[in-house]
Structure formats: C-alpha cells, structure tokens
A = this chain, B = another copy of it.
Amino acid sequence: MTTEASSIPSVADSRQPTADSQFGRFFLPGPTEVRPEILAAQTRPMIGHRGTAMVELMADLQPGLQRLFRTQRPVYLAASSATGFMEAAIRNCAMERVLALVNGAFSDRFRKIAESNGLAVDALEVPWGEIHDPGMVADKLRTADYDAVTVVHSETSTGALNPIEQLAAVAHDAGDVVLLVDSVTGLAGVPVESDAWSLDFILTGSQKALALPPGLALGVAQPGALERARRKTNRGTYFDFLDFEKNVAKNQTPNTPPLSLLYALQAQLECIDREGVAARWQRHQAMAQRTWQWVDAMNQRGVALEVLAPPGGRSHTVTCIMLPDGIAGPEVTAAMSERGYTIGGGYGRLKERAFRIGHMGDHTLEELESLLGHLEEALLK
C-alpha cells in the first residue's frame, strides 16, 4: 500500500494548473477542496473489514494520525460526521452537569447535543466572533458542580479560535472536570497538542483541514475520558469509547468503517507527512495572515471590511469578514460564483452581513492570492 500511496504527488507538486480550470477555486469552510489524486484513492477495491488487509491498513494509518493529533494515544475512526463524535463525547464523558462554552453556531450545537442527551447544561455565552476567557471560565466553574466543559476550538461560523490549552488547564484545576473539544476546523490546520495540553477528548471531521471527502470522524480520548466511559451506563453502542478502545488495540474498528475514505486518508497522510505537520500549520497561518492583511488593505481603499474575530483569537483556517452597510453577504458570494469561485456565506444570523473564506486543507498561498484578487475586483466594482 505504501508504494501506491507514494505515487501521489505532494501538495506543492499537485497544484500545477490542470485541465479543470475550476480547480483551486473552492474556498468553502468545509467541505474543502479535495485534490483529484486523493479522490482517486477512493476507487481502490473493497476488502473485508475483519480481515488482515484491513488490519494492515489501520496499522498503517495510526502513526500518521498520531503525528497529526500529537498524541501517543490511538486515534478512533468511525463512519460519521463530526456531529456524531460530538455526541460521542457527551455520551461517554459527561456525567450530569455540563458547562457549554458558546461563541457561535457550532458551539451552540454542542450545547444542544448535551441537552438532547438528558444532561443538565449551562451555557457560558460570549458574542459571536469572540473567544472565551479562561479566567471567566474558571469563575463559572466555581458556581456549580460541573463535570464536563464543551468547547469549539475553531468556530467555523465566526472564525474565532478558542485558547483550548488554557481552557483545559482551568477545567482540570476545577477538579474532576473534562474538556471536550470540537476541533473540526482546527485539527490539521492550527496547532493542536492533544497530549501535552491534556485535551480529554478531541474530535474532528475529514472534510475540513484534512481536505478529505466528508463521512469520517476522528477523535482521541485520553485515559480520563475512558475512565468516564467506564463509569457511565446507557452510553449506547455505536459511539461507545470502550468499544473503540478495544478494537483500535487490534487495529480494527468496532463497526464497519468507511473504507473508501480510509484509502483517501492513507493517501493524504502520506502527503501530510511529506509536508510536515508543523509546516502545514505554518501554511495555514500564512494564508490567514494574508487574508487579514488584505482586509486592512481593502479598508485603505475605502471598503470597510472587518475580520469578525479579534486579533489573537483568530483561526488560521477560516476567516469571517463583516461587510459595510450597503453590501449584502449573498451579493458577494454570488459575484464570486460568477467568477468561478466558491466562498462561504455568513453563517446563520450573519448571512446578510458577512462572508467567509475557508483557507484550509491543501490550499496554497498562491491560490488564496488569486481568490483575493477576484474578491477585490468584485468588491471595488
């Protein structure tokens, strides 16, 4: 398998102009563009999910996944969207009372998932676009007997990046409290240290900074999360961490995995290893910084754009840009669509007032530059 995957060009190599002129123009904050070579890896033939070929595939995936999550723990894989693993986090690790940190649409979803599973949930809300202050969270944790905190690392709806290292510290300082981290547009795009930061459970989905098709959820549970699962009853079957743990030790999955996506993951992990995880983070940082600079430059040219998230609290994978009065979000996405580019609209309540650029996955600074050039034209027209 290694030899097959090795024939796949690295990110830089494969970003040559192709016959498909649409390629390199798809900047949604998920699903992100998937390179043709990675899509092609999905066409390998079926194998049994309990056979040796599958064990070899799983064994081949783990080291690259561990490098990506910066963990010595095994990485759980399942046929699911990331929402399924948010529910998994709740069902396995939250005992009775949850503090949900809410600063956008997806962190609010995490809150709702906890509620829909019968837990007592308090929300600590800050305005959309802002991030959570660890001191405020520490204060809030003293007000009730919380056993779990939910947080979204990179809020895809706003482009805000929560300080999960510090939030894990305050959760643990508060006693037997676990931090459950949705890093859907974080992992593989912004620095994550699953072990060093003691993130009790961290999850992501395949179709964001990993630049794979959707349908594969990935997560890492620290021993404390497993200890919770052991104490919980009624945690169900499909997302049972004890079942994942037992199976991953044998290089298996508890349930049938989405094989085509594992093939694509294998090909993509080879590319990520060639680029280097830290270099991948740097590429995302460079794309984010360029986007913020461009917003500044547009202001100097008289278009009052604004990056929603505050400096120091901005994700490197997605930027939500607020528009001045008189320009509606849908106009901008439509104008870009006419130019052959796909960007994200403002999410939910921000639909009319914002747009979003997903500068993540395998995109390059050059592609972003070209996007920003067209965006500039569209806005100055």
Contacts and interface: CB of A to CB of B under 8 A. Distances in A.
A48 interface: yes
Contact of A46 (B31, B48, B82): B31
A222 interface: no
Nearest to A112: B237
Q: How many copies does the complex hold?
A: 2
A143 interface: no
B43 A31 contact: no
Contact of A258 (B46, B258, B342): B258
Q: What is the interface of chain A mostly: helix, strand, loop, or mixed?
A: loop
A234 B117 contact: yes
Interface residues of A, number: 59
B43 A118 contact: no
A187 B255 CA distance: 19
Determine which residue in A83, A116, A118, A215 has the highest number of CB atoms from chain B within 10 A of its CB, and name it: A215
A336 to B, nearest CB: 13
A45 interface: yes
Contacts of A190: none
A237 B40 contact: no
A205 interface: yes
Contacts of A236: 87, 91, 113, 116-117
Interface in A31-48: 31-34, 36, 39-40, 42-48
A260 interface: yes
Interface of A: 22-23, 26, 28, 30-34, 36, 39-40, 42-49, 78-84, 86-87, 91, 109, 112-113, 116-118, 205, 207, 213-217, 233-238, 240, 255-261, 342, 344
Which 7 A/B pairs are nearest by Cβ-Cβ distance?
A215-B258, A118-B234, A39-B43, A81-B255, A81-B256, A79-B215, A31-B46
